[in-house]
Amino acid sequence: MAKRGQVTTMTFERTGKQTVMIVVNLVLVAGLAAWSLWQGVSAGRNGMLILGVGLALWAAFIAIGLVRRRTLGALTRDGLTLRHVTHDKHVTWDRMQWADIPEGGNGAIIGYREDDGQRTRMAAFSQRALGPEAVDAIRQAIRTQRPDLPHGPPHEQGKTGK
């Protein structure tokens, strides 16, 4: 999960309940894809074929996520790694520009700068998928490593309620 040479301090694993829900969704979508493809081929319906192909692609994406995202992320000494279905995103503590991780929210975003320092990039993650313990650990690690880090993008700093 962590890059070579990085010391992982905490990993975020998918729970058994989450795995069961993903498998149920995979079976349902794959079943609908097979039924739609069968209906499209047997009855000569182009719409059902298109629907079946779309559902089959969706099922493949779910299956890739099931295999690839056993570990959802990790905290390391030098930053945070988030594992997405298609790629891993590693954000070092020194490159973080701001963090918006609302209490009780569904999503969270961390703004950071790449090596070139030109544009602020964003690393988003689902608080619901990671679970409250992992989100609290990320919040605490950010407070420890970067106590001066703004809560939210710079253009929202002056707004009330933030």
> How many Cβ atoms sit within 10 Å of the Cβ of residue 119?
8
Same domain, 137 and 81: yes
pLDDT at 15: 87
Same domain, 122 and 60: no
Sign of CA dihedral 146, 152, 158, 162: negative
Same domain, 17 and 85: no
pLDDT for 18-31, tens place per residue? 899 999 999 999 99
Domain span at residue 149 reads 72-154
Same domain, 56 and 77: no
pLDDT for 76-109, tens place per residue? 889 999 988 888 899 999 889 899 888 887 888 8
pTM higher than 0.95 for the full model?
A: no
Whether 81 and 11 have beta carbons less than 8 Å apart is answered as: no
Share of the chain above pLDDT 90, in %: 36
Closest CA to 120 of 137, 140, 103, 99: 99
Same domain, 85 and 57: no
